Amino acid sequence: MVSLQQHTAFIKKTATALGFSYCGIARSQKLDDDAARLEDWLRKGMHGTMQYMENYFDKRIDPGQLVPGARSVITLMINYFPSVQQNKAVPKISKYAYGNDYHDVIRDKLQELISRMKESIGEINGRGFVDSAPVLERTWAQRSGLGWVGKNGNLINKQSGSFYFIATLITDLPLEYDDPFAKDYCGTCTRCIDACPTEAILPDKVVDGSKCISYFTIELKEMMIPAEMNGKFDHWLFGCDTCQDVCPWNRFSKPNRETRFSPIPEILDLSTREWEMMTEETFKKIFRDSPLHRSKFKGIQRNLKFISGD
């Protein structure tokens, strides 16, 4: 009989071969502590207009609600830190959106991992999730020994920082489990709190999503951004990396090796004027595979006018 150790080793080796930077595994269980924190966060309205955050509450805190008979939660991380940065004079775009949409890239890798697991191990029940289902992926990453949740709400890896996408694979397969990451290495540092342009980062590792620049530039669907945010966006057109850029742990960030995350040239160099002159047809052509399509052309134009003061 093949041992749990062999199954676990196979999964981690395969994850590495598929381009994942880290792979950790935790025992599936209900997240009671997270349930209380999430309930309080929602009650205070910190999700803004993101009503979907209120949905499927039970599924968010219990993997068994997503995969019947769940035994293991596999957390996979993939680096997206770019090898080149934007021209400093252009409207700013979050580094995660430099290349192709990460949902598509990681979903392909997850499906291949599940396929290889079934080939090698046998019939298993498993589902992979990439930021598109009610999964508390940062909690599972911490429980899998991959890092700690920083004051800015991001999962921070001690060796490599926080510029990582997190994917989750829930399965009914029993495996060997990693020890949780027990220490918080943020210490007394408050750089992310101090640097946040909209004061969205609160004490006790709470982020008010309804004040976050990423919320306004990506999630907010209304065509008017609240006037009280005037002058606070620090020229961010799509998303915001301020809290990560100032984090001392990101001095360890290294360029990713995923070709599909290579920056779209226009993202690096398009001036404000060039963005303003862009047609919807051109936008759809250039950014058809980019996360920017989430805001759509009208959303990008709205953001552009807001940061330009029009």
User: What is the crossing angle of helices 102-121 and 4-17, to 10°?
Assistant: 150
Residue 131 a catalytic site member: yes
H-only helix segments in the chain: 4-17, 32-43, 57-61, 102-121, 137-143, 191-195, 213-214, 242-245, 265-269, 272-277, 280-286, 296-308
β-pair type (164-171, 126-129) = antiparallel
Are 96 and 106 in contact by the 8 Å Cβ rule? The answer is: no
* Active-site residue (options: 58, 131, 179, 269): 131
Q: Give dist(CA 105, CA 109) in Å, integer.
A: 7
Kindly report the length of the chain.
310
CB count in 10 Å sphere of residue 199: 11
Rounded to whole angstroms, what are the CA distances from 294 to 218, 219, 220, 285?
A: 7, 8, 11, 14
What are the residue numbers of the active site? 131
